[in-house]
Copies of this chain bind each other. A is one copy, B any other.
Amino acid sequence: MLKALVCDIDGTLTDTQRRVDTGAIGCIRKLVDRGVEVVLASGNTSCFMDALCRMIGTSGTFIAENGGVYRIGFDGSLHLDGDQSRCWEAFRILETHFRERGTSLQLYSDRYRFTDLAFGRTVSAKEVKEVLSGMPIKIVDTGYAIHLQVPEVNKGTALVRLAPEIGLSSDDFLAIGDSVNDLEMLSEAGTGVAVANANPRARDIADWVTQKKYGEGVVEAIQKYWSTFSKDIDQPRYSP
C-alpha cells in the first residue's frame, strides 16, 4: 500500500514552458487533504522548493539540489549532504577550460545552493564530462541546467534518509519522474513511474510509464495508484 508520493518538478509537474500544471496541483491538493504525504523533489534550490510547497499546499517537506538538501515540514531545518567545495574545484577547472575557448559559464543561483552547483547549458555536457573525467564528481544534465555534484548523493539517497523521519520507509512511496537525475529515486521508491515524455533510461527503470506527458501524466499516475480517490480526483475543484 503506497502511503506517500515523491514527485519531480521540471519536466514532470511542469509543462513544456516550465509552468506548473494546474490540473496536477489540484490533484496533489486532493492527496494532501486526504493525509497522503507529498514530497516535492528537484535539482532546484531549497528556497525555490519552499515557495513551491507553499504555493501547491503540501506539508513543506522537500528534496532540493538533486538530493543534496532535504527538509521535513515548513519549520524543519535543512539537512545537507555533499561537499560543495569539490564542486567548486571542478567548476574552476571548467571555467579555465572554456574561457580559453572564449566561453564563460553562467552559474545559477549559487548564493542559494549549499551542496551542488548548477550552470547554464551554453556548453556541451559531453565536453564537460571529458574535461572532468577521472575526477570524483558527477555531471548531470537535467535538460534545464548542468549540475556538478558529489557522486554519492542523489534524490534516491535523500528519499531513503528522509522517509524514516516522517515515520515511513522509501518502499511506502510512489515516485514520479522524467530525467536521469530521477533514476535512483525511481528505483528506491516502492513504485517508480515515468511520465510519457521521460528520458529512455527513466522509462526503462520505471515500474510503469504513463500514457500522458508532464503534469497530465502525474494526474494519470495518482489516479492509477490511489484509485479510491479516482472519481474525486477526476474532477478537481480548480478554484478552492
- B-binding residues in A (CB < 8 A): 14-15, 17-26, 29, 44-45, 47-48, 50-52, 54-57, 109, 112, 215-216, 219, 236, 238-240
CB distance B21 to A239 under 8 Å?
Answer: yes
Question: Could you write out 16 A-B pairs with CB less than 8 Å apart?
Answer: A19-B29, A19-B54, A19-B56, A19-B57, A22-B238, A22-B240, A24-B239, A47-B47, A48-B50, A48-B51, A48-B54, A55-B55, A112-B112, A219-B239, A236-B238, A238-B238
Residues of B within 8 A of A51 (CB): 44, 47-48, 51-52, 55
Residues of B within 8 A of A239 (CB): 21-24, 215-216, 219
Given A15-B240, A22-B22, A47-B51; 12 other pairs, CB 8 A cutoff: A17-B57, A20-B56, A22-B238, A22-B239, A26-B238, A47-B48, A47-B112, A48-B50, A48-B54, A51-B51, A51-B55, A55-B55
Please tell me how many copies of the chain the complex holds: 2
Known A-B contacts A50-B48, A51-B47; the reply to A19 vs B216 at CB < 8 A is no
Residues of B within 8 A of A22 (CB): 22, 25-26, 238-240
Q: Pick the contact of A23 from B44, B55, B219, B238 — CB < 8 Å? A: B238
Q: Pick the contact of A54 from B18, B25, B26, B216 — CB < 8 Å? A: B18
